[in-house]
């Protein structure tokens, strides 16, 4: 099916473990974004990518790593999860252009215990 999908939808992990959230889009959009959503903070940009092998930091990149070896995939890795990284994570994709809207995945609810 065409679209943008995130996996897993729900994840519980322990402090200190590495965890990877997956994001896959089928539109061949140039841009992909990762956000975290926390009460009172809205959506905060973690990392974004303009194309394969091009990534850039957003507002809250510390503790996260991204890669984009293929246009359609943009995994987000928490190298050593902390409780403060408990959040809902959204991936989005869009075409080039400040006039193009972003399409969002369903979100991943991550709990770090």
Partner 1 sequence: AQKITQTQPGMFVQEKEAVTLDCTYDTSDQSYGLFWYKQPSSGEMIFLIYQGSYDEQNATEGRYSLNFQKARKSANLVISASQLGDSAMYFCAMRENVFGNEKLTFGTGTRLTIIP
Residues in contact with partner 1 by CB under 8 A are 31, 33, 35, 40-45, 48, 50, 54, 56, 58-59, 88, 90, 92, 94, 96-104, 106-107
Distance CA 14, CA 74 (A): 23
Other CB atoms within a 10 A radius of the CB of residue 42 amount to 9
CB of residue 85 vs partner 1: minimum separation in angstroms?
A: 19
The answer to whether 68 and 56 are in contact (CB under 8 A) is no
**Which residue number, 22 or 102, has a Cβ lying nearer to partner 1?**
102
Q: Which is nearer to partner 1, 82 or 96 (CB)?
A: 96
């Amino acid at each position: 099916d065409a679209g943008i999908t995130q996996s897993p939808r729900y994840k519980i992990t322990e402090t200190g473990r590495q965890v990877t959230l997956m994001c896959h889009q089928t539109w061949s959009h140039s841009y992909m974004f990762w956000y975290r959503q926390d009460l009172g903070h809205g959506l905060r940009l973690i990392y974004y990518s303009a194309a394969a092998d091009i990534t850039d930091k957003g507002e809250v990149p510390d503790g996260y790593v991204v890669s984009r070896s293929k246009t359609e995939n943009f995994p987000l890795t928490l190298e050593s999860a902390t409780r403060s990284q408990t959040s809902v994570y959204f991936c989005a994709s869009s075409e080039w252009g400040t006039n193009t809207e972003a399409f969002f995945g369903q979100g991943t609810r991550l709990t770090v215990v």
